[in-house]
Amino acid sequence: MAPYWFFQLRLIPWIPFLVYQAQQIRKTSPNLPSQSSLLTLGQGNKHILLLGESTVAGVGASSPAHTLAGNFHRLLGESYQIETIGKKGLRAKEALSLFYQHRQEQTRKFKGIILFLGANDCFLLTNPDAFKKELENLIHQIQLATSSQWIYLAAIPPVHLFPSFSKKMQFFLQMQRNYLQAELKKIAASHSKVIYQEIPINLQPEFFSADGVHPSDLGYQKIAELAFEKLNPTAVKINLSSA
């Protein structure tokens, strides 16, 4: 992979055009509400925290039951409690302060943490070194605060395939995503409690909601099922069902 500064040089002449396109998309796309920004489902004594950007906030879902939280609650069962802290537009550097702002109980311990971050760091062209530093700090601090047994780190959504974006936007977003994805893999390789998972990129149109950016109900279902398969005790040596 070429140095990041080389990518930046290629990008600079296109920035005014890309900014204009982004503004037009915001003007013409439907503004879908968040369904699970701060949501707790279930009364079980095994706690799972979902923390992240608009996918955790449930933008594009038709109801809380069809968000990531709703799907994880269905998949894991009544012995679990699912808590979400999500915010549209969230970047990695903002996630820790959001967590401390909204965590319900200072002493609560979690079985596991599920992180969905990186799309907004693609859109806002976060430097890969800064992205890695912020995400490593988040993982370290949140593990200390929650004593979580594992941290699931989702791959960055395939922003270069979002139907609302032009071919030129998709081209540069794919390159930016590649740089940030490389940092995610480095983090996972150096942290024994981090479980990293790629996202299949053969997405069908019905995966997306009306804005062509966020997942639909079906999209959220598929994302949750993919993560559940990775976290299933038969697939990895982590016992989700233990007390």
Check pLDDT > 80 for residue 108.
no
What mean pLDDT is predicted for residues 237-242?
A: 43
Confidence of residue 239 (pLDDT cuts 50, 70, 90): very low
Q: What is the pTM of this model?
A: 0.91
Check pLDDT > 90 for residue 96.
yes
Residue 237: per-residue pLDDT: 42
Check pLDDT > 90 for residue 30.
no
- Parallel/antiparallel/unpaired status of strands 150-154 and 194-197: parallel
Burial of 226 (0-12, 13-18, 19+ CB in 10 A): middle
Residue 238: per-residue pLDDT: 41
The DSSP output letter for 92 is H
Question: At 225, which helix (H) or strand (E)?
Answer: helix 217-231
What mean pLDDT is predicted for residues 128-132?
A: 98
* Cα dihedral across residues 238, 146, 95, 37: positive or negative: positive
Residue 107: per-residue pLDDT: 56
**Domain 4-8+35-199 adopts which CATH fold?**
Rossmann fold (3.40.50)
Phi then psi for residue 66, to 5 deg, are -105, 10
What mean pLDDT is predicted for residues 41-59?
A: 95
Q: pLDDT tens for residues 149-208?
A: 999 999 999 898 888 888 999 999 999 999 999 999 999 999 999 999 988 767 788 989
Going by C-alpha positions, the residue among 20, 150, 142, 37 that lies closest to residue 84 is: 37
- Parallel/antiparallel/unpaired status of strands 80-86 and 38-41: antiparallel
